Amino acid sequence: MVVYVEAVLLDNFFFDFLLGYLTYLLTKQKVRHFPIALSALVGSGFALAFPLITKYAFLFKIAALLISSLLLTLKKSLKVYLINTFVYALLSFLLSGILCFLLGDKMHNGFIGIKLGGVVALISIGVLLLLYFVRQMIGLSTERKRKTKFAMAEIVNREKSIKISALFDSGNLLTDQNGEGVVVTDQKRLSELGDLPKFGEMCVHTASGSKVLKLVKIPEIRIYSRGHENILFNVTAALSDLPKEYALILPCE
């Protein structure tokens, strides 16, 4: 059987690139393209050099696996390296078997040298493009959901105002003594507005336990969401410590 050098390089490079990409996805790591490309380049080099190796073929293949996996795990812990190596080896075994079954061929000494040179490269590129497209669609969908969940808000007290990020929370069912809805604000950010009228206290039950929050009256809150502006007047606010992502919790209604 004649196997062209170009076909061996292309097939193994893109197949190994796919293996590295999937390894990152399955181990929930950030996808880093340079280590994947470097690992794939070294892996295709091993495949090209393999016919020249007459002894210790098994050790040569093990070395190819360990080094390719190591290049994916640079500057990370031994635990991550071992997990990456296991996932990479499992994917290599499964995907190479599937490809050879579909193409009616077999692996040659553990590396891809299929008679239909270049076909594995095309299939790998197609799968990579499909994965990239699916991830982009998921990212866009997540971003749309995030935008509907968050909004910009401007809190006004006389001549002072602050702009903060607000979260719409369906779990915020708090009401004050008059039955009006209560927003939750970050007390540090709200202190930038100066003194606000006090409105007593309320006990709030959360997953971490119960706590008593001080209540104040905010003269005006302007909410900017999806191209619309909504203005609330004389709003009861509970003072709490909120994360950096948002400084105001609004009910969904």
Q: Which of 97, 87, 124 is nearest to 13 (CA)?
A: 124
| pLDDT above 80 (res 115) | no
d(CA 78, CA 97): 28
Q: What percent of the chain has pLDDT over 70?
A: 87
Q: Give the position of tokens 């990370």.
A: 76
**Which are the contacts of 167, defined by CB distance < 8 A and separation ≥ 6?**
149, 150, 245, 246, 248, 249, 250
Mean pLDDT for the stretch of residues 104-111: 53
Rg (CA), the chain: 29
Q: Directed axis angle between helix 119-149 and helix 5-26, to 10°?
A: 30
pLDDT grade, residue 110 (50/70/90)?
Answer: very low
d(CA 216, CA 236): 6
Mean pLDDT for the stretch of residues 24-34: 92
Q: What percent of the chain has pLDDT over 90?
A: 36
Mean pLDDT for the stretch of residues 198-215: 84
| E strands, the chain, in order | 150-157, 160-169, 182-186, 198-206, 209-225, 228-240, 248-251
pLDDT grade, residue 104 (50/70/90)?
Answer: low
**Which are the contacts of 174, defined by CB distance < 8 A and separation ≥ 6?**
181, 182, 184, 202, 204, 238, 251
CB count, 10 Å around CB of 2? 6
Average pLDDT, the chain: 83
Q: What is the pLDDT of residue 44?
A: 87
φ/ψ of residue 117, rounded to 5: -55, 135
Residue 4 one-letter amino acid = Y
pLDDT grade, residue 247 (50/70/90)?
Answer: confident
Residue 115 in 3-state DSSP?
coil
| pLDDT above 90 (res 24) | yes
d(CA 72, CA 134): 23
What string of DSSP letters covers 141-193? HHHHHHHHHEEEEEEEETTEEEEEEEEEETT---B-TTS-BEEEEEHHHHGGG
| pLDDT above 70 (res 108) | no
d(CA 65, CA 35): 14
User: Looking at the whole model, is its pTM more than 0.85?
Assistant: no
Q: What is the pLDDT of residue 106?
A: 52
| pLDDT above 80 (res 39) | yes
